[in-house]
Amino acid sequence: MTWRYGTHRGSPAARRPDERGIALIATLVVMVIVAAIGLGLVVTASLEPMAAANIEAAWDAAFAAEAGIAIAAHELAGLSDWDLALASGAGSSILESSGPSVELPDGSLRSLDELTNLAMCGHAGPCSAAEATAFTAVRPWGPNNPRWRVYGHGRLDRLLPGNAAGLPVSVVVWVGDDPAEIDGDPLHDTLPGPGGAWQLGACVLALRAEAFAGRGGHRALVATITRPGPDCAAGARLVSLRVEAGTP
């Protein structure tokens, strides 16, 4: 009897060289995928603190803008004649009401004139009368567009005692006539008619607050306040509060 020795066709010894090469390539592909997943996790973990800091800065700016509105409304509630704020230069006693610029959280200065022009006509240079009264998507009231006048500005974190002060944040607050009026005079508030008759836009003011926080945090709010009674007696009540169109 003759014995013949050989290997089973499916045994490792019978595998062709190209099969071993394919296994090596597959192993390398898996290693690359695992390494990419690990790198992605590392990048994500490193970016999370930055994202959280940016979100915190955005909230700081939002809260600061609301605080600016609240401060102005509180002070204007005690002002007997709102025309004093619109046309006569009355300013805040809590925030700074003078000076050409506001200090930002990074220590730099920003021109109040430039910020006012940006709010009224969209560019830093002086606004012409035609631009201030133009009908635009952001300011659609034409001759009744608010003529923003700086009411107060400053670093809110410096208003609190040292240990209570939060992160540095700056705010500028403007006052303007309510655009719902149709008298074409944005420097004077409409008063009630004879016998206290209701007049459109009477005893109503517009406020604008723009806040700047660290890491580029920014928020601009526009509010409307009104006297609590029909006779324009002292006091102020918040009617509306919204994020200004075109701002974060």
In the predicted structure, residue 240 carries a pLDDT above the cut 90:
yes
Burial 99-113 (b: 16+ CB within 10 A, else e): eeebbbbeeeebebe
C-alpha 62/C-alpha 42 separation (Å) is 31
- Render pLDDT for 99-114 as a digit per residue (tens, 0 to 9): 899 999 888 999 999 9
In the predicted structure, residue 130 carries a pLDDT above the cut 60:
yes
Q: Between 87 and 53, name the one with better pLDDT.
A: 87
- Residue 3 is predicted with a pLDDT of 47
- Render pLDDT for 184-238 as a digit per residue (tens, 0 to 9): 888 888 887 777 677 778 889 999 999 999 888 899 999 999 998 777 888 999 9
- Residue 47 is predicted with a pLDDT of 54
Q: Between 67 and 12, name the one with better pLDDT.
A: 67
* 179 three-class SS: coil
- Render pLDDT for 8-53 as a digit per residue (tens, 0 to 9): 455 555 555 556 667 777 777 778 787 778 777 766 666 566 666 6
Strand partners, 220: 210
In the predicted structure, residue 166 carries a pLDDT above the cut 80:
no
Q: What percent of the chain has a predicted confidence (pLDDT) above 90?
A: 43
C-alpha 86/C-alpha 182 separation (Å) is 16
- Residue 248 is predicted with a pLDDT of 66
In the predicted structure, residue 97 carries a pLDDT above the cut 50:
yes
Q: How confident is the model at residue 57 (pLDDT cuts 50, 70, 90)?
A: confident
In the predicted structure, residue 119 carries a pLDDT above the cut 60:
yes
Q: Between 87 and 40, name the one with better pLDDT.
A: 87
Q: What's the mean per-residue pLDDT of the chain?
A: 83
- Residue 131 is predicted with a pLDDT of 94
How far, CA to CA in Å, does 199 sit from each of 11, 79, 195, 196? 99, 20, 11, 9
C-alpha 23/C-alpha 31 separation (Å) is 12
- The domain segmentation of the chain, as residue ranges, is 39-243
What single letter denotes the amino acid at residue 40? G
Residues 6+ apart with CB under 8 A from 238: 69, 73, 223, 224, 225
